[in-house]
Structures are given as structure tokens and as C-alpha cells.
Structure 1
Amino acid sequence: MAKLHLPSVPKRIIDTPAALDDLCTHLRAAGRFAFDTEFIGENTYYPVLCLVQVATVERVDLVDPFAIDDLSPLWSLINDPAIPKIVHAGDQDVEIVWQKSGAKPQNVFDTQIAAGMIGLAYPAALWRVVEFYAGITLDKAHTYSAWDRRPLSKDQLTYAVDDVRYLLHVHDVMTAKLESLGRTHWQTAACTQMIDENCKPVDARGVFARIKGANSLDGDQLAVLRELTAWREQVAYEHDLPPRAMIADEALFDVAKRLPRDVDAVKRIKTLGAEDARSYGPHLVDLVKRGLTVPPDDRPELISPGEDSLAVKRLSEALWVAAQTICLGQSVTPGLVTSQNEVAALARLIDRSASLDKHPLTHGWHHECLGQHLAALVKGQRTVAFKFGPEGLEAQFS
């Protein structure tokens, strides 16, 4: 284990533009830094940023966004491709930086992703990673704390500091391990993919596809559901409300399924509730009418794979077992690379002798880690042998 050198804890919170400028000068000079954010996301369309934590090898700092209106100097550093940043489970952190700055964070190393590539579990909580690499047990009590209250308690400040204090040490150990395994480019690609997936506008016209049960609706009903969810997204954005807090998914699904033509029919939908029926009834009726006027060729379609044949089920199960074993044999957590549903989709393509070009396992680091081996196995071009070594299951390809 690498010798543990911890940065000093902050003596005060960064709460002035001048102090922020001094901090950013320090961060740039340090050459790399860890960051994390605390926010409240239950009551607004976009999360309310409550605290930003940063750490270099020298010190930890806490930035109060309630006291400083313009955090653009800090966002510029996080978005600078020349400066490495370290996060843990950073999907929401990079998203909130993108929301605040309008640009994607660059050169980000996510220690949770790296853990899944070097033999640890994925997803692994920060406290488990720190315990494994530093032998220190962190407090987990303030994960869902009231971060918007001031002043922050001593326990909250300790928790916030611990969220970044150990990340540079973990980064050093993980970087060395990834380099020894030849997987640095896997890590870079996976982190870039994580950023791309989380830093993009909401597709209001595509939200309908994520509503539970949507694939059971016909073309008319789906067209209506698309109008309903797009309208809810826009109104929620304008009023800074979480969309599901405005009207529940179940209610919109039932409106689309029953296609009410007047307000009285809307009021009979039990999942909607009397208050929502009164408030939104006329709008919902108009949206139903609008959806029903969509030309047949423009109506959305959700394709369900349906019931697989016994042959496809058998192939899917075999491929899933092979995928898990191949990943574990390389000390990679299978869930970081693929999923059972994704492997089942691959089995259907293989069964139909269809092109695999658009399947995720045929591209990038997913292909290098798993896809190429699965394809070669299916074609009979490769064999895989396994044995238990010092670090667990080991795969040997021939």
C-alpha cells in the first residue's frame, strides 16, 4: 500500500470571490485536484448546489456557492482538459458542473469506475474504497443531510472533507494499477462516456419511452403519452419543479391509456388525483386531442423483443455466463462492461445472423475487454481457460 499523506483540513469556508480566486490559483499550480459536490435535488427541476469540496495533496477546501454568486473560475478549471480531476461516482457531480457552466468537465478520473477495472466491486461506495486502500473507516451518516442549511454542523463539515481528502491517494494507487494492466485507455474512455451520458439536455420528446409500461401502449396512446410527458417537462422546467412531483408517471400513463376526451373523463382517472384533475384537466384533454391528430407515420413506436425462442434463451444464458466469467477473469466487474439485457440483445442478433455493428459490445473498450472475446467464442475461433490465481479468477485466451 502506498504511504498515506493526507492534505490539511480547511480552517474556514471559501465564501468570497477573492478567496475563490486564491483557491483557483492554488488548484492550477497543484496540477491536479479532487472535487465533489453536495446538493439538494428533491424540490427543484435542477439540483440546488449547496457546497463544493476540492482537495490537492496539500489541502482541502470547501466552497460555499450560497455566498459566491459566480463560480466560473472554479468551473473553468474543472472544464480544463490540461488539468486532471478526480471524483468518486461523479455522474451527478459532472452533471451539475455542466448545468452551472454550460460546458462538459474534461480530464476526469472516476475512482468508482477504476475500482471496477482493477478487481474491486462496481459500483463501490467511497467508504469501501478508502477502507481498502487507506485502512480508514469513514462516517456515512450525512449522505442525505440538509446541505442547504447554514451554518453547516461540525459533523457535516467533517463528512464533506472526507469526501475528497483521500481521493488523491486512491488516484495514485489506482493509476499505477491501471498502467500495470494496460488499461489506462479503458479508464479514460469509460470516464468520457460517463461525462457524455450525464452532460446533455433532456430530450423532452423522448421522456415518454422511460415511463413504466409504455411499451404496452399502441400507436395512438404512445403519441398521446409523448405529448403529455413533453408538456410536463416544459411546465416543470418553467416552474422549477421535479417533473414527477408535478404529475406522477402513473397518472400520465393512465391518461394516455384511457384517452379521456373531456374533463369529466379526466376526473375519473384515480391515479391523477382530484386536485391535479381540476388544475390540469383542460390541458390534459387538449394534449390527448393533439396526440390523436399526429399522422400515423409520425407516431412513436417502442419495439419490444417479445418472447425469445428456446434456442435464443439458451444462447443468451450461455453468453451471459461467458461474459461474466471473461470479465471476472480479467478482474473487471461485469456490470461495468455490459448487462444481461445487453447480452440478450446480442444473442438475438446472432440468432438472426444480423449485423452486430451497432451493438455496444462491438465498439471501444467494451469490445476490447469483452466483445471481441465473445464474438470469437461464438465463431469457434477462440478458447478461454480459467484458473484461480493470487488475485482471484484469471482468464487465459488462446
Structure 2
Amino acid sequence: MNYQLITSDAQLQSICNRAKQHARIALDTEFVRTRTYYPHLGLIQLFDGEQLSLIDPLGISQWQPLRELLTDPDVLKFIHAGSEDLEVFWNSFQCMPAPIIDTQVLAAFTGHPLSCGFATLVAEYLNVELDKSESRTDWLARPLSEKQCEYAAADVYYLLPLADILMAKTEQLGYLGAAKDESALIAQRRKEILMPECAYKDISNAWQLRPRQLACLKKLAAWRLNQARERDLAVNFVIREENLWQVARYMPTSLAELDALGLSGQEIRCHGRRLLAMAAESRDLPEEECPAQIVNLIDYPGYRKAFKEIKSLIAQVSESHSFNAELLASRRQINQLLCWHWKLKSPEQQPELIRGWRGKWLAEPVAEILENYSVS
């Protein structure tokens, strides 16, 4: 396949102008994210059906033409398993590709497993075996090898013909609107930013802590998240989650106690005194300013029975529509629904199971189930 390596602002302007003349394009990214908080963009692949471009971000400074293409409402963008790619676009260019359809979502609506890989689908529908040997390569190293470029190019070259096949199958089944909604929901999730003051709720076993210990964990988790973002460092490379929890539980008063809790030498050297200061602040905090204890959902009265009933409903509905039950509802989505029903978390919006395309099939039967589980 032929491709063009884009290394200048003028080239980027040209290919984006050309791509905007097409009704649909294929997109992909290659990035590196090993120890960093943010993904580091190494390459953008763009195919408009005629011109295949590999955009090298290291040599480009003027990104407005790409932003305009990504947000052009008249150009449909296809990705495959693109949740992380969408995060890359959002972090790198402060915009989200739209309108967008994820071919992995299309495949799921046509009966494939929820996480069906691109190579598997290309082999099945296009009878082409893709070489995936470069999937773990360093995309920030330069120069890029010919093998790297060919690997990257294939990911968008076959995406458009695959999308055409899956779009037709999904539309024939009557699920194209749902697939578009699901793809948009995936993009929306990637735009959601965790507020530092809420980070403690995502720490494993936070529910085991008492209010004052939670106050400490709240300070620690917010500090760690801010550190990770400021230093572009994965949160567990700031301080490991289990060690953060230990500090919150025992609220140590000395560096020796931190060592006894199992913190690494580097964690103690770099952050020990700050951790002790936050523990001290938490000990002095008025009781009324401590967070309420977190309810462990699986121990909530009626949880197991309600979960089982909803899971059974999901199986029935997905079987009647001939697609994977995990597409209709994940464990996370069922738990989100039950937390909302029992008012265990602040209701930011309706749960995913009872809105959008899922709501058309699930809202009424789910409401009937939940009537049997009162709010305490």
C-alpha cells in the first residue's frame, strides 16, 4: 500500500483540506504510555479512501487544520477500539473527533465478541492476515522504520472497507442508530475528567476506612492525582495505591512509621514529610468536616438479589436481539444503576442503562425490578 509521511505544517494543511472533501475517513494513533500520566503521541494515521497519510507529530506545530477536520460535522470518522485514541486526541488537541463510529462497536452489534480485535475482523471479512509484530514498538523513536510505517498504515487502509461491511450488516439488523449512540458515549466518557477531591472514592478498599481515615485518604488521593498530572507521571509511580491506603488507615507520625508500613525508600525520601503533614492535618480536622463512610455496594441489603435479577434481564434482552450481553450491560453499568437507585453516590446524570439506546429496551423492565428494592 502507498502512504505519505507528513512532517510539515504545509503538508498537514494540504491533506486535511483534501480529506474534508470526503464523506468518511479512517483514523488511528500510535502512542507511548508506560510511566506517564498522559499518552505521548507518536503517529496519527489518516486514510480518506484515496490518500493514506502518516502524520508525524514531532515535526508539526500548527494543528488547527487537523482540529477542523476532526470536528467537521460532514465527515464521518471511523476508528477501531478507539477509546484510548480518543483520549489521545482530547489531550493532544483539546477536541474530540465527531461524528464518529467505532467498528468494534459495529462488530459487537453484529454478534461478535465485545472486544473483537481489528486483525481478527480483517481476516474474517477481507481475507487479509495483518502483521502485528510492531504493536509494542517505540513510536517516539526516530526515524520510524519502513516496517513500522507499513504496520501503522495497514490499521487505517483496511478500516474503511471493513467499516462498509459492518455498517451494512448493522443497518440491516436495525442497530445502526444504537451503534452511533454507543460510539458517541465512548467519546463522552473520555472527556470526563476526575476531580482531585473525588479521587479517594476510586481507591481500592476505601470503604473499609472510618470517616477520619477517609479524610486523610481524600487529601492523599487529591495530592497524588495533582502530582501525577503536574509531573506527567502515572499515579502509582508517585506513590503506590496500597501504600496510600496504609497511610490513610494508620496516619503515621514519623518517617520510621512510614517505613514500617511498607513504603519504598524513594516514596519516603521524595514524599515522606508531605505525607506526614497530610496525616497530621487529618487528625486535627473537625469531625463534621470528615467525609461520610463509603458504603460497600456488594454488602448493601438486597444488592446480590437485585444484581442477579438485572443480569437475568440483560441476558434475555441481549439473546432476543442476538448480540453479546456485555455490550448491553457491563458490571460497572449495573453497579452504576444500583448506586443511583439507592442514592449511594451523587447523581450526576441518569445511569447509562436507562438512557440512550439501552433505555429503549431496559428502562421500563429495570424500573419494575427496582420497585422491589426500596431506598433505605
Tell me the TM-score normalized by structure 1.
0.84
- The corresponding residue for 1:199 is 191
1:94–1:198: 8 Å Cα contact kept in structure 2?
A: yes
2:340 maps to 1:332: no
1:312–1:348: 8 Å Cα contact kept in structure 2?
A: no
2:164 maps to 1:168: no
- The corresponding residue for 1:35 is 27
1:94–1:195: 8 Å Cα contact kept in structure 2?
A: yes
Call closer, same or farther: CA 1:238–1:214 in 2, change over 3 Å: same
Call closer, same or farther: CA 1:193–1:351 in 2, change over 3 Å: closer
CA RMSD of superposed structures (Å): 2.7
- The corresponding residue for 2:270 is 279
**Deviation per residue, 1:93-126 (Å, 9 max, x gap):** 1111111222232201111112111211101111
- Number of residue equivalences: 366
Equivalent residue runs for 1:1-398 within 5 Å = 8-10=1-3, 12-270=4-262, 272-301=263-292, 302-307=294-299, 313-314=304-305, 316-340=307-331, 342-343=333-334, 358-373=350-365
**Deviation per residue, 1:271-330 (Å, 9 max, x gap):** x11222122111001111233444444433422135366x76455434423312321331
SS of 2:21's equivalent? Answer: helix
After TM superposition, give the deviation of residue 145 of structure 1 in Å: 1.1
Call closer, same or farther: CA 1:367–1:247 in 2, change over 3 Å: same
Call closer, same or farther: CA 1:343–1:20 in 2, change over 3 Å: closer
1:236–1:242: 8 Å Cα contact kept in structure 2?
A: yes
Match of 2:264, as an amino acid?
A: G
Call closer, same or farther: CA 1:35–1:362 in 2, change over 3 Å: same
Q: Distance in 1 between matches of 2:222 and 2:370?
A: 43
After TM superposition, give the deviation of residue 348 of structure 1 in Å: 9.3
Q: Distance in 1 between matches of 2:286 and 2:152?
A: 53
1:227–1:290: 8 Å Cα contact kept in structure 2?
A: no
Match of 2:155, as an amino acid?
A: D
Q: Distance in 2 between matches of 1:151 and 1:341?
A: 42
Call closer, same or farther: CA 1:294–1:360 in 2, change over 3 Å: farther
Match of 1:331, as an amino acid?
A: S
1:256–1:288: 8 Å Cα contact kept in structure 2?
A: yes
Q: Distance in 2 between matches of 1:370 and 1:280?
A: 48
Q: Distance in 2 between matches of 1:308 and 1:234?
A: 32
Call closer, same or farther: CA 1:368–1:229 in 2, change over 3 Å: same
- Structure 1 segments unaligned to the other structure (5+ residues): 1-7, 380-398
SS of 1:255's equivalent? Answer: helix
SS of 1:13's equivalent? Answer: strand
Call closer, same or farther: CA 1:76–1:350 in 2, change over 3 Å: closer
Q: Distance in 1 between matches of 2:53 and 2:243?
A: 45
Call closer, same or farther: CA 1:64–1:320 in 2, change over 3 Å: same
Call closer, same or farther: CA 1:231–1:347 in 2, change over 3 Å: closer
1:227–1:287: 8 Å Cα contact kept in structure 2?
A: yes
Between 295-304 and 49-58, the greater mean CA deviation after superposition: 295-304
SS of 1:29's equivalent? Answer: coil
After TM superposition, give the deviation of residue 340 of structure 1 in Å: 3.9
After TM superposition, give the deviation of residue 196 of structure 1 in Å: 1.0
SS of 2:58's equivalent? Answer: coil
Between 285-294 and 343-352, the greater mean CA deviation after superposition: 343-352
1:267–1:278: 8 Å Cα contact kept in structure 2?
A: no
Match of 2:308, as an amino acid?
A: E
SS of 1:30's equivalent? Answer: coil
Between 155-164 and 296-305, the greater mean CA deviation after superposition: 296-305
More helix by share: 2
Q: Distance in 2 between matches of 1:256 and 1:347?
A: 28
- The corresponding residue for 1:390 is none
Call closer, same or farther: CA 1:378–1:238 in 2, change over 3 Å: closer
**Deviation per residue, 1:259-279 (Å, 9 max, x gap):** 112333223221x11222122
Call closer, same or farther: CA 1:185–1:208 in 2, change over 3 Å: same
Call closer, same or farther: CA 1:44–1:319 in 2, change over 3 Å: closer
- Structure 2 segments unaligned to the other structure (5+ residues): 372-376
Between 312-321 and 105-114, the greater mean CA deviation after superposition: 312-321
Call closer, same or farther: CA 1:377–1:37 in 2, change over 3 Å: same
After TM superposition, give the deviation of residue 84 of structure 1 in Å: 0.7
1:40–1:148: 8 Å Cα contact kept in structure 2?
A: yes
SS of 1:130's equivalent? Answer: helix
Tell me the TM-score normalized by structure 2.
0.88
